[in-house]
Amino acid sequence: MNKVNKNQLVSKLVEIFKDADVDIDEIINEFKSQLEARKRKRYEDLEKLFDKQIQTLKDRGCPEQIIELLTEQKRPVVFKASEMAFEKGHIPFLPVIPRPYRGLYDLVAMVWNKDKQGCNHLNPVVIIDTIDTPTRPYYIYDVEDGEATLKKSSETAEKVFKKQSRFPLTVDEVIALCIHTDVLSRHTVLAVASRYNNLDQVLIAHLDYYGQPLFNYTLVSDSHDHWGSPSCGSR
């Protein structure tokens, strides 16, 4: 809160309480107590989200060594998220498993839609990430699932993210989004920060006619009404 807003708030409070027969200190103490209770509740909710994501990875057959690398980050991840403000619908954080830690075919197989496992049509050797990401299992924060960029090509979405100081997701991060949410049941997802063969092709995740998650590629200039490019606020 900047100085001007703070002064305005104080003026409003003075106006509200100037004729009130109340104990101001008692009200302030009660306000602090309620604020602390809300902070604790938020922290606890974030801890539950963290635990749920770890359990999902276990249920999907993630190796125990990777689970341990992600679990040991719980305190800093939850604390960081508890200090952040999120727009409605944004996901506070998601665990990401880089491809060097688990092959693309195994990662895609962890994406489920009801009883159907993900299927990979990509050659892992020709995938190019256009941004630097951590080399060990890590977390991304303030994740928007792509609804905000529906109807926009990945090319256009990338320009939007730059203006917003947000970051497009790599295929590993899109896989994380698809593992922990049902985003594919709502719209197709573009991994804007991963290209295929060359910079003119972008990776894409969608459901086929039978509801099976598929990972493939398309042109960066392509767009459809139900295609969206997810982003994150930080890594």
Tokens of 2: 């900047």
Question: Would you give per-residue pLDDT tens digits along the chain (235 residues)?
Answer: 344 577 787 777 777 777 766 776 776 776 676 677 788 899 999 999 999 999 999 999 999 999 999 999 999 999 999 999 999 999 999 999 999 999 999 999 999 999 999 999 999 999 999 999 999 999 999 999 999 999 999 999 999 999 999 999 999 999 999 999 999 999 999 999 999 998 899 999 999 999 999 999 999 999 999 999 999 999 9
pLDDT (0 to 100) of residue 224: 94
pLDDT (0 to 100) of residue 31: 65
Q: CA nearest 178: which of 103, 116, 130, 234?
A: 116
**Residues ≥6 apart with Cβ < 8 Å to 4:** none
The type of residue at 26 is E
Cα–Cα distance for residue pair 141/230, rounded to 1 Å = 12
Pairing of strands 213-219, 119-120: parallel
Pairing of strands 138-143, 167-168: unpaired
Cα–Cα distance for residue pair 182/63, rounded to 1 Å = 23
Cα angle, residue 136 at apex, residues 131 and 140 outer, rounded to 5°: 60
Cα–Cα distance for residue pair 17/26, rounded to 1 Å = 13
